[in-house]
């Protein structure tokens, strides 16, 4: 069996008893240790911007600092005892002396597990979406229209879901507000946000998807003749049902340009729903979708 230098002196971990309030580890120390809690309770403390916040608590059997020691990463929280506790500290020198006595295969296993742990940790903090504006728009499209939501709560929840930094979320909310999709009211802690129209946000997301895939988005490819046909259909009661020749005759009577090819295109746009006996009736949802896209084209494109 191939091992490290078995003659290397092994430095044992340090076991000690600490009082409540004792700082077990400080990120300013520059040390890289594994702290194991044997008895009592410890807390990870974040002192960002001078505000003391308890991030998590440790109970007997818990440990921290593995990544700091094995991957040479800084552990950014202070560790304090919340009550009288017994701890075991594995220092860098202690770990090195232990590793030198291990078989090569065990070292390989430890490195592999450490690498996987790092990837999982990075995944927890990595943003889960690339187009943050589109992602926020899709999230807001599921909110209740006209209902006012506290800005800080909306930012907090969306950040938790996507890992997008809160500052970025705040800027994207402003971007959607400039497009008139969202409205902000109030100042400071009392700032609220509400959705003007959820359909507009759904349309915006669809436009963004088409843009990302490099394809033309259908509502913005309509010819003038097709737009006139769309407006005419929107004036027809949704219960109206006719076969294809009757619809073509209807449009021609209104002095609109249409032929069989154009009729097929309207089917592809989804402006009509098929019924019994080869009849068709207006698809009001799709018609509203296209009309809203055309009406708010500048907002959707962002040319304001």
Tens digit of each residue's pLDDT (9 = 90 or more) over 42-59: 998 887 766 778 888 999
Residue 222 has pLDDT above 60, yes or no: yes
Residue 14 has pLDDT above 90, yes or no: no
Q: Is residue 88 part of a domain?
A: yes
CATH number of the domain enclosing 171: 1.10.10.10
Q: What is the mean pLDDT of residues 147-175?
A: 90
Q: Is residue 211 part of a domain?
A: no
Judge if 143 and 165 occupy the same domain.
Answer: yes
Choosing from 70, 104, 125, the residue where a domain stops is 125
Choosing from 59, 94, 125, the residue where a domain stops is 125
Q: Is residue 45 part of a domain?
A: yes
Q: Is residue 36 part of a domain?
A: yes
Judge if 114 and 23 occupy the same domain.
Answer: yes
Q: What confidence tens digit (pLDDT) does each residue in 253-262 have?
A: 999 999 999 9
Tokens of 50: 């001078």
Judge if 191 and 278 occupy the same domain.
Answer: no
Name the band, by pLDDT with cuts 50, 70 and 90, for residue 294.
Answer: very high
pLDDT at 303: 59
Mean pLDDT, the chain, rounded, equals: 86
pLDDT at 167: 86
Q: Is residue 8 part of a domain?
A: no
Tokens of 300: 């959707």
Q: Is residue 7 part of a domain?
A: no
Q: Is residue 291 part of a domain?
A: yes
Choosing from 76, 107, 125, the residue where a domain stops is 125
Tokens of 166: 């809160």
Q: What confidence tens digit (pLDDT) does each residue in 70-122 have?
A: 666 677 788 999 999 999 988 888 887 777 777 777 767 767 766 666 665 55
Kindly report whether the global pTM for this prediction surpasses the value 0.75. Answer: no
Judge if 224 and 185 occupy the same domain.
Answer: no
Q: Is residue 1 part of a domain?
A: no
Judge if 120 and 144 occupy the same domain.
Answer: no
Pairing of strands 192-195, 42-46: unpaired
Alpha helices (runs of H) in the chain, residue ranges in sequence order? 66-70, 92-99, 104-125, 132-140, 151-162, 166-178, 198-212, 224-234, 244-253, 260-269, 284-295, 297-301
Angle CA 124–152–50, to nearest 5: 75
Q: CA-to-CA distance for 1 and 274, rounded, in angstroms? A: 76
Judge if 19 and 117 occupy the same domain.
Answer: yes
Tokens of 110: 């430890």
Judge if 291 and 223 occupy the same domain.
Answer: yes
Query: Which residue reads 């998807």 in tokens?
Result: 209
CATH number of the domain enclosing 93: 2.60.120.10
Judge if 18 and 113 occupy the same domain.
Answer: yes
Judge if 222 and 183 occupy the same domain.
Answer: no
Tokens of 194: 């509400």
Judge if 71 and 107 occupy the same domain.
Answer: yes
Number of structural domains found in the chain: 3
pLDDT at 127: 55
Q: CA-to-CA distance for 35 and 58, rounded, in angstroms? A: 10
Domain range for 271 is 218-301
């Amino acid at each position: 069996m191939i091992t490290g230098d078995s003659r290397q002196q092994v430095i044992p971990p340090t076991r000690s008893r600490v009082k409540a309030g004792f700082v077990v580890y400080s990120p300013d120390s520059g040390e890289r240790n594994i702290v194991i809690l044997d008895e009592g309770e410890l807390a990870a403390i974040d002192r960002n911007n001078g505000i003391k916040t308890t991030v998590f608590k440790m109970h007997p059997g818990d440990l921290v600092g593995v990544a700091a020691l094995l991957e040479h990463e800084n552990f950014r929280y202070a560790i304090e005892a919340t009550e009288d506790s017994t701890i075991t500290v594995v220092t860098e020198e202690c770990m090195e002396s232990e590793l030198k006595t291990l078989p090569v295969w065990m070292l390989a296993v430890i490195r592999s597990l450490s690498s996987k742990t790092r990837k999982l940790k990075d995944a927890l903090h990595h943003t889960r979406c690339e187009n943050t504006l589109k992602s926020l728009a899709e999230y807001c499209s599921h909110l209740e229209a006209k209902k006012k939501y506290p800005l800080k709560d909306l930012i907090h929840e969306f950040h938790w879901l996507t890992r997008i930094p809160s500052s970025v979320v705040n800027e994207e909310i402003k971007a959607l507000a400039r497009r008139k999709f969202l409205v902000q009211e109030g100042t400071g802690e009392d700032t609220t946000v509400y959705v003007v129209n959820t359909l507009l946000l759904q349309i915006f997301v669809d436009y963004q998807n088409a843009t990302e895939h490099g394809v033309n988005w259908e509502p913005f490819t309509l010819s003038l003749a097709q737009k006139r046909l769309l407006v005419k259909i929107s004036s027809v009661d949704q219960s109206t049902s006719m076969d294809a020749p009757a619809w073509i005759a209807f449009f021609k009577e209104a002095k609109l340009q249409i032929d069989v090819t154009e009729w097929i295109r309207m089917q592809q746009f989804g402006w009509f729903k098929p019924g019994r006996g080869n009849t068709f009736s207006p698809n009001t949802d799709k018609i509203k979708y296209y009309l809203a896209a055309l009406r708010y084209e500048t907002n959707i494109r962002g040319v304001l």
